[in-house]
Amino acid sequence: MAVLSNFAACFGPTVVSVRWKNLASLWMVILWLLAPVGLLLGQTANGTSGSPPAPLVSDDHETFGHYLVEHRDDLAPFFNAKGNELFRQTAPLILGLLGKIMTFTLLTCWVFDVAIIRWFSRRYAPALAKFKRALMYATGRLVLSVLFYAIFGLSIVFVSGLGHEAIIVVLLFFVFLLIELVVQTGWIHYLYSTPVANSFLCYLGIFVVHVVTGFLVSAPILTGHATALATIYVDGNVTPKMEAVANAEKKDLAAAVTARDALQAQIDDARKKLVDNAGEQTQLQQEIDQAKNSDTYLFSKIVKLHAQGDLATARGQLADLMNKFPTSPIMDTMKQQLAGIDSDIATQIAQQKQAEAAAAQAAAQARADLVARAAQGEVTLSEMRLALVGKTPAEVASLFGPPTVTASNRWGYSKRMTVNPLSQEKFGLAVYFANGTVQGVDYYYDTGPARGTETGGGETQ
């Protein structure tokens, strides 16, 4: 019985809810025998009665039921997947066991019903105390009870799809129990014409005797057959499935180990290649660094600088290279390159001097032209501004001579040097200084400047 108790604990509430739906027609009998069976299971589990289950491993003295309970978390996926199938396979065993209990209980209770009703009729209805009438009552009570149990089972089937099924079933049980008490009380009252109270007490006593009889009949049947049935069921259904699952898991584990080893070998090979590649990269980098520091590579960079026109940098690096590699096989080429760079530098210097001379000549020509035009009074304020802004007082004096009027920041030339292009009227020149350089120019009048002042940023009022 410990096997049954421990095995049932592994199914969980989900599978239990499926059980009573599949065996709805037997619920009344199960509830009728619930109290004695529970007591019996408790006694056998504690070792006070019943036969001990066969050990799963005799050397370790561990029962199969204890194994299931101790490993219920590990076995939960197995029972979740196989729970419905396993329970369908237990149905014939449960039905057979309950059939025996029901048959012996009904026969025994029928005999007790005859005896009890005979005693009741002799005491409260002596005129109707007939053995034939007692047989009629016991048989009728049996038929009525079976009829009520059948209707109760069908009711459970109909309400199994509703919400709060357990509460509805409990309420139905008490309703049908109340109806049975009323009907059976009426049956006794009809047969023996006794008061309703006496008839009710009589059937209540019969009901108590039935409960006790169910316990007494169920105990030896469960004790003698339950352990054997559980052992047969476990050995024939549970153990092979668990072994199949275990073998499949072992096979999957072996395949996983093989795949893991193969993957580890690939990882090790990849790591080795990475190490080899790192060494090759280091050697290659060293070769690149050596090539970059070679006379040939450095000379190619110098040639590139020469081609880009950076002659001074190219000549300095080429001189350093020749000093660093005095025995270089390309020394003659480097000397030729150095001679070419020197020739280009000389040409560049000559061109620069020529450009400077041309620029100086152009500037002198521009100054001479400006002075000549100023002598004729043909220079506009804009031209004067472009020519004089930024020049020092000495440079202005070298162009136009000393001013007619001087002030702290202003020179005035009374000679008519400028012309208004709109009116063709000619004026003198006023030059304004700031921080030692010319900042603006304006027309010069005998009384001072008029209209606008031509400055470095434009005319000002």
Residue 126 lies in a domain: yes
Are 122 and 193 in a shared domain?
A: yes
Are 403 and 318 in a shared domain?
A: no
Residue 265 lies in a domain: no
| CATH number, domain containing residue 451 | 3.30.1450
Q: Divide the 461 residues of the chain into consecutive groups of 10 and give the mean pLDDT of each group.
A: 42 41 36 37 39 41 58 65 63 69 80 87 85 87 81 76 74 85 87 87 86 79 67 69 78 88 89 83 77 80 87 87 86 87 90 90 87 89 91 90 90 91 91 92 68 40 29
Are 199 and 343 in a shared domain?
A: no
Are 325 and 384 in a shared domain?
A: no
Are 304 and 250 in a shared domain?
A: no
Q: Which residues does residue 434 pair with via DSSP β-bridges, in sequence order? A: 437
The pTM assigned to this predicted structure is 0.35
Of the CA atoms within 13 Å of residue 272, those in its CB half-sphere come to 6
CA angle in degrees (0–180, nearest 5) for 229-106-21? 55
110 is written with which tokens?
């029928």
Averaged pLDDT of the chain:
75
Q: How many domains does the chain have?
A: 3
**For residue 454, what is the DSSP state?**
E
Q: Which residues does residue 206 pair with via DSSP β-bridges, in sequence order? A: none
Are 163 and 224 in a shared domain?
A: yes
Which of 371, 449, 378 lies closest to 419, judged by CA? 378
Residue 103 lies in a domain: yes
Are 85 and 205 in a shared domain?
A: yes
Task: Give the pLDDT of residue 437.
Answer: 94
37 is written with which tokens?
């069976």
Task: Give the pLDDT of residue 161.
Answer: 62
Residue 271 lies in a domain: no
pLDDT per position as a tens digit, 222-238: 766 666 666 766 666 66
> Which 3 state secondary structure label does DSSP give 458?
strand
Q: H or E stretch including 236?
A: none
Are 9 and 122 in a shared domain?
A: yes
Cα separation, 342 vs 334, in Å, equals 12
Residue 148 lies in a domain: yes
Task: Give the pLDDT of residue 24.
Answer: 37
Are 101 and 181 in a shared domain?
A: yes
pLDDT per position as a tens digit, 127-140: 888 888 888 888 88
Task: Give the pLDDT of residue 225.
Answer: 65
Are 123 and 248 in a shared domain?
A: yes
Are 382 and 340 in a shared domain?
A: no
Are 234 and 331 in a shared domain?
A: no
Q: How far is CA 30 from the centre of its chain?
A: 49
Count CB neighbours of 272 within 10 A: 10
Q: H or E stretch including 434?
A: strand 426-434
Domain that holds residue 37: 2-258
pLDDT per position as a tens digit, 239-288: 777 777 778 888 888 888 888 888 898 898 888 888 888 878 888 877 77
Cα separation, 356 vs 351, in Å, equals 8
Residue 96 lies in a domain: yes
167 is written with which tokens?
């509460």
| End-to-end alpha carbon distance in the chain | 122
